[in-house]
Structure 1
């Protein structure tokens, strides 16, 4: 590959993945998830017509994008100029896809061919996740710039939700208003927390293709329930990097219990955020959050994960009781804390932080507290 000084931002990311592949002794990597392909190709496949898009990363950092011919126009319009190949649609589209994949793997080292023959194509990756996680762990200056812009969009969306929310509106009307505000501000497409079951702790219901995720509506009608708290979250994209912010709205004056729980969760979240710094272990941050809520909220009502890595999507769980990972400068985290309820939605707050040399920087500026609209 070219020297680092002459690489563009995407090439630098590919180089990091190639270096991790070498360290792991991997000959080839098949990227299939939207976040992985966005990381390696700067291409958002979330709106593609047909499933099954794959980015093949071989020795030396050489990449080839394989996709359905139905999505060829979208790839061309995206500005992607890398190597491509396509399979045609039809009843045997899956067989054609695997045929195209096998053809491209045939010229790669034997271990890749053996893995393919053992069904790795159907699984979608050859040891991809650990390698990608390691490469994505620390963000470079270009990635941090994109994350800042995405966080700004999340703040804009947060404000739009609060400003335009009234209980008589349907969810569809609310999220479309928010989408319009974000797209006018430069937002491009969306990231859904339902892409990866490991990245979401409560079910969300929202129109397909929306940027805002609203909890606590009547699923059948889309009507909000003004008697229930309404947690919401936003995941807008800026240059394929994900913003994340959220809070909880109430339409009626909260009772003493709800208010005390919301205040306790907000304070505990701020305490955990203040503890994020280089050198601290992830489980220590989690323990600080739990200690702040001790005697206030039963542990079985708290989400078992309070932080995820963040980049071209919400990544692996990071802040939990079992994570021994040491935080380092350049790590980006989406901190999401929640109290669940036996029936109906609970309380949730979400923000994004960047670990810096001296501590951390909050990328979102919106408050983490109960928003009262009554």
Structure 2
């Protein structure tokens, strides 16, 4: 950031040495025949309005040469224009009017750029030139981009990935703002089996992000990981010592959600956790075993029975897993399902 300030001072000094006129002041219309002080005042007012709307301003010309839009209804002083120009000079080797190319420069500066380039991005955020949640035509979310592609720079005096994440959050980047796939930055970071992804996740947690936050359906990222067989995210979740028996609005746990979808990989992983509640019940009294049987999922049923799921627990309508298995086996021609549950029931009663 200090380097940007020094470069902006150099730009300003060069302008003073060259005796460049101040182009930010609208010329006054001289009073004369057909022109009154009131007319001149109106013209001056129009000039100020045009300036606020972004017409013929130095900042507009500067930003358009880099494919960036000018913030409306915002006044930029000469010093601010110089500062923005210095930041852009650090960020982009050569000006480009291609907005897609400019977007990529900004994303690259955050994910693996030099310290000066990252400082330039922070300056542009401070000045309201770019929105960290929606950069360029692709509306890139800088925190999510960093979570997916951020790496530690090999530059001697580089800004660490952990610090970059913290500084983005400090400059207004919302850690709860999701990407185009409705994934938070933490979910993006923990879905990638990289050390850098773990670094981003740790930084977000230390910045105060609540991993138990729910989406519009009321499900947590652990629910989604269980349904998607996302073992990488589940491993990060376990390593962070976070609770595993979370509930959605219907009191469904991640284990129930995985069992209902026959996600045997996720069911097996969840059952290895020491705190897992195998016989937790939802709002209607269904357990994970009920869910697996109702969906006719033999793999999930077998895993749950192996880990001690009770086949005789009743729902609010008095349906046990054994009785439900009998009904589902008859209606869907799945005799193996009933045999599996019946054997486990008999073995448990001995």
TM-score (norm 2): 0.20
Higher helix share: 2
TM-score (norm 1): 0.19
Higher strand share: 1
- 1 or 2 for the larger relative contact order (CA 8 Å, sep ≥6)? 1
- Pair member with larger Rg: 2
